[in-house]
Amino acid sequence: MTRVIFLGDSFVQGVGDPEHRGWVGRVLQATGGAVTGFNLGIRRNTSEDVLRRCWPEVEARVVPDEDNRLVVSFGSNDMVEENGTVRVAADRCVANLASLLQESALRGIPVLVVGPPPVIDAGAAHLRRTVDLAAAMAGLCAARNVPFVATTEALAADPVWTSEALARDGAHPGAGGYRRLAELVLAGGWPGWISG
């Protein structure tokens, strides 16, 4: 019995999906088999917020000697500007990811990282920051031999994702956008990781 815990923000949570399963539910459905998913996405969460709460929440969900896994996705909220500064600086966000990867390795829990989706109505500067952050995350993951799924640029250029986000709250897509993000994950490191 494989247990996959998904840690992150509103995109992990699937906010805006009328079917209430987001990309996480769609990836699990496509995976099939005996996989139990735990969705620990929380809207507005930055990497700091995730790090603050994650280990007690993970501990309540892992079972010793079972196949426990972790999927992590954050960063879009870190890069949002509030009162003239970003909520969490990029180097801090990458350090938070490094800390999370290290702790997971100590606990023997394999990790897959999904890059930060774009926040469509947050403007070009936010997109540039998020693209740069995603590149830094990808570099860290490569160095740690952790699979990383890039999403930022593909979704920013995706007409379904962008039109759905703009028709809603400017950030969160509907079923079509989450389907597209699920496809990126399934076409990325997921299949090899989940069966490895």
Alpha-carbon gap, residue 140 to 125, rounded angstroms: 23
177's tokens: 């956008």
DSSP H stretches of helix in 34-174 = 47-59, 90-107, 123-144, 152-156, 159-167
Interface with its own copies by CB under 8 A: which range of 15-23, 77-85, 90-98, 151-159? Answer: 15-23
Binding mask 27-56 for its own copies (x = CB under 8 A): -xx--x---xxxx--xx-----x--xx--x
Closest distance of CB 182 from its own copies, Å: 11
CB closer to its own copies, 15 vs 133: 15
Say if strands 81-82 and 85-86 run parallel, antiparallel, or are unpaired.
antiparallel
Determine the residue type at 79: M
CB closer to its own copies, 29 vs 99: 29
Residues contacting 64, CB < 8 A, separation 6+:
none
Q: Which of 20, 102, 107, 125 binds its own copies (CB under 8 A)?
A: 20
62's tokens: 């892992």
Q: Which residues of the shown chain bind its own copies in the complex (CB under 8 A)? A: 13, 15, 18-21, 24-26, 28-29, 32, 36-39, 42-43, 49, 52-53, 56-57, 60-61
